[in-house]
A and B are shown apart, each in its own frame.
Chain A
C-alpha cells in the first residue's frame, strides 16, 4: 500500500491485547513469527510465541559506540528502535550450505538437500528495514542472476511493519528518505497509540494477505481521530531525528577518493567489521569448502564476510586494500556512492546501526560531513 501519509486507505484499530491473537493467527497460518525481544541487554529478533515476549516498557539509548536499554516511562511494546540484528539474518542466513557433493569414482555427483523454505512472519519491521529488504531484493535478483533460496524465503515472508514512535539516537532515516513512516512493502503496518486513555494500534493493510489476517482479529474501523493520533506519532518521530546525512553525498565521495580524511578515519577504525555485520544492506560473503573425514563428501558453505578483512581483496601476490584507510574508503564509498550505480539507490537506509555498534563510535554522517567541510 502506498497511501499518502495522512490518509491510509484501509485501516483499523486493534486493542493492544489483540497482538497476541495476531501472533497466534500468523502461527496458525503456518508462519514462524520472528520479532523483537530482549536478550543479553539488547533487542534481538527471535521466534516469538506470544506478545508477552516483546520488550514492553523498554526503550534504547543509542549513540556513537553505545547502546543501552532503559525503562521507559510508559509500557509501550515498540518504544525501542533497531538493535544489533536485522532481518537479513533470516532472509540471508549468516552461514548457509549451498550444496553437498559425493565422490563417485573419478568424478563426483552434485546433490543438494536444503530444508524446505521457512515461512517467516517478521513482526515489528521498521521503515528503514523495509527499505533495506527491498535493497537486498535487488542484490539477490540482479537481472542476470538470482539466488533461488533468497527469493523463496522472501516470497514466503509475511511482514508486519511498525511505525517508529521515536527515533533512536543514531537514526537518520528522514534524510535518507527511508522513514520513519513505513509507506510500502508490508502486509500490515502498526502504529502504537498509547496515552492515558488508551493502548491501541492503528493497523494499515498493505496486501491481501494482510487483510486476510486482519479479518481473523477483532478490530474496529479507524476514525478520523485515530488517524490524527497516528499522524501525531509519525510527525513526532520525524521531527525528533538528531542526525542527518549531508545532501549530495554520492557525488561528494566520488570526487574525494584521495581526501586526507580517509587517512584520519583509517587510523581510528579498528577494521573489526562490526559495521558491515550489523548493516541491514551489507551482503558480502565468502565461501568455505569442507570435506568429511573420509574425503568422500564435500560441501560448499557461504558465510557473511566483511570488506574490512585483508583476505577480502586478496589476489595472488597480495591484497589490493592493504591499508585500513583503503578498506574504510571501500565501505563508505560502496554504501553511499557506488551503490547508486550498482543498484539504483543508496546502500544506506539511515538505521544508525553502524554508528551505535562501532566500538570507537565512528559516525558515517560525520565522516561525510568532514569531507564536505574540508575542501571536499
Chain B
C-alpha cells in the first residue's frame, strides 16, 4: 500500500482540477474527486458514523436522487462507494452514514470536522419515488441498509399527500445496532406512518419485537395490489423480504432492491460490479426485482 512515488512539481493552489491533455475537448474526467469539507461528524453506533459535507472549493450543491451513491476518497487510503443518506430537498448538505469495516471506511472514520475528503458522484439509479406516487409505500431495511433508504423516506415525508399508506419496517441485529434511533422514534409517533422495528437478538432492556424483519412485512399495513416496496439490507435479508412481500401479494415489478457489489470506478469502466448483464454502478444499485429475479436465484453469479 505505501509504495513510494516521485513527487511531481507542485502546481499552484489555483491550478484547475482538470487534465492537461485535451480535457476541454473530451469533457471532464469522471475519475477526479472533488474536495468536500466535513462540517459535522456524528457518532451513530459503535462502528457507524454520519458525515455532513459541503464542497470545499465552491458553493455548488449536489442534487441527487434518493438511493444514489458517491465514491468517497480518504487521502492516500482509497475510495469506497457510500450511499447518500441525507434529505434530497436539501442538496447543499451532503450526508453519508458509514460503517467502518475495512481500510477505506476506517480512514474515513478517523477524519474530523474540518477535514477534507474526496467525492465523486452522484452515481447510479434511484428509488422510484416519482413512480410510486399514488401508491402505498413499504420500506424494508436491514442494518446499515436504512441509510440508502432514508432519502426515500425523507422524500415521501416531504410530499406525504402524494402517497397512500407508508410503512417502514426495520430490522437490526441487536438494540445497540438500531440506526437513526431517535428519528425512527419520531416517525413512529407520526399518525400517518407505520413504523416497526425488530431485532434479531434482544439485549439490555429491549421490550420491542424480536425476530427477522420479514415477520413485520407479514403483518401487512398496506394494500399489496397498490404497493411499491423498497428493500435494502444484506442480500440474504433481501431474499427473505422479497419472498415475504410476494407472499403478501406485491407484484415482482413493484418491488425494488438495492444491490451491493465490489466497485472500483462507479462509471462502468472497471467491470467489478457486474451481476449478469447489469453494471450495478450504472444500472443499479436500485433494481426492479423482476429484472434480476432469475439472477438472484443463482449462486455466486
Rank and list the top 7 A-B pairs by shortest CB-CB distance, nearest first: A107-B116, A284-B271, A341-B277, A326-B300, A291-B76, A145-B267, A148-B26
Contact pattern, B 245-286, Cβ under 8 Å of A = 1, otherwise 0: 000000000000000111011011111101011010010000
> Which residue of B31, B75, B115, B260 is within 8 Å of A99 (Cβ)?
B31
Contact pattern, A 113-143, Cβ under 8 Å of B = 1, otherwise 0: 1111100000000000000000000011010
A264 contacts partner chain B, Cβ-Cβ < 8 Å: no
B32 contacts partner chain A, Cβ-Cβ < 8 Å: yes
- Contact present for A313 and B272 (CB under 8 Å): yes
Which interface residue of A284, A334, A341 has the most chain B CB atoms within 10 A? A284
Total residue contacts A-B, CB cutoff 8 A = 188
- Contact present for A289 and B78 (CB under 8 Å): yes
> Which residue of B5, B27, B260, B301 is within 8 Å of A297 (Cβ)?
B5
- Contact present for A116 and B270 (CB under 8 Å): no
Could you tell me which A residues sit within 8 Å of B by CB distance? 98-104, 106-117, 139-140, 142, 144-149, 151-152, 155, 257-258, 283-287, 289-293, 295-300, 302, 305, 307, 312-317, 320-323, 325-326, 329-330, 333-334, 337-338, 341-342
B101 contacts partner chain A, Cβ-Cβ < 8 Å: yes
Known: A148-B22, A289-B76, A298-B75. A334 touches B32 (CB 8 A): no
Interface window among B8-16, B149-157, B202-210: B8-16
Contacts of A155 in B (CB 8 A): 22
Known: A284-B271, A290-B1, A292-B5. A258 touches B298 (CB 8 A): yes
- Contact present for A293 and B4 (CB under 8 Å): yes
Contacts of A144 in B (CB 8 A): 267-268, 282
Contact pattern, B 7-36, Cβ under 8 Å of A = 1, otherwise 0: 111110101011111110111111111110
> Which residue of B5, B11, B21, B270 is within 8 Å of A149 (Cβ)?
B21
- Contact present for B22 and A297 (CB under 8 Å): no
B130 contacts partner chain A, Cβ-Cβ < 8 Å: no
> Can you give 5 A-B contacts (C-beta < 8 A)?
A102-B10, A144-B267, A148-B23, A317-B234, A342-B279
- Contact present for B7 and A292 (CB under 8 Å): yes
> Which residue of B27, B272, B276 is within 8 Å of A312 (Cβ)?
B272
Contact pattern, B 47-73, Cβ under 8 Å of A = 1, otherwise 0: 000000000100000000000000000
Given contacts A155-B22, A290-B1, A326-B300, 8 further A-B contacts (CB under 8 A): A99-B32, A145-B30, A148-B21, A152-B26, A285-B270, A285-B271, A290-B2, A338-B277
**In terms of DSSP, what is the predominant structure of the interface of chain B?**
loop
- Contact present for A106 and B115 (CB under 8 Å): yes
Cα A101 to Cα B224 with chains together (Å) = 52
**What is the minimal beta-carbon distance from A128 to any residue of chain B, in angstroms?**
21
Could you tell me which B residues sit within 8 Å of A by CB distance? 1-5, 7-11, 13, 15, 17-23, 25-35, 37, 56, 75-79, 101-102, 114-116, 118, 234, 260-262, 264-265, 267-272, 274, 276-277, 279, 282, 298-301
- Contact present for A315 and B262 (CB under 8 Å): yes
Cα A304 to Cα B169 with chains together (Å) = 42
Known: A109-B13, A146-B27, A298-B76. A313 touches B4 (CB 8 A): no
Known: A107-B115, A283-B269, A285-B270. A112 touches B19 (CB 8 A): yes
Cα A312 to Cα B263 with chains together (Å) = 9
Known: A152-B26, A307-B271, A342-B277. A291 touches B300 (CB 8 A): no
Contacts of B8 in A (CB 8 A): 100, 111, 113
**What is the minimal beta-carbon distance from A96 to any residue of chain B, in angstroms?**
10
- Contact present for A257 and B301 (CB under 8 Å): yes
Q: Which of chain A's residues has its CB closest to B272's CB?
A: A312
Cα A297 to Cα B35 with chains together (Å) = 15
Contacts of B282 in A (CB 8 A): 142, 144
> Which residue of B18, B270, B277 is within 8 Å of A286 (Cβ)?
B270
Cα A300 to Cα B2 with chains together (Å) = 12
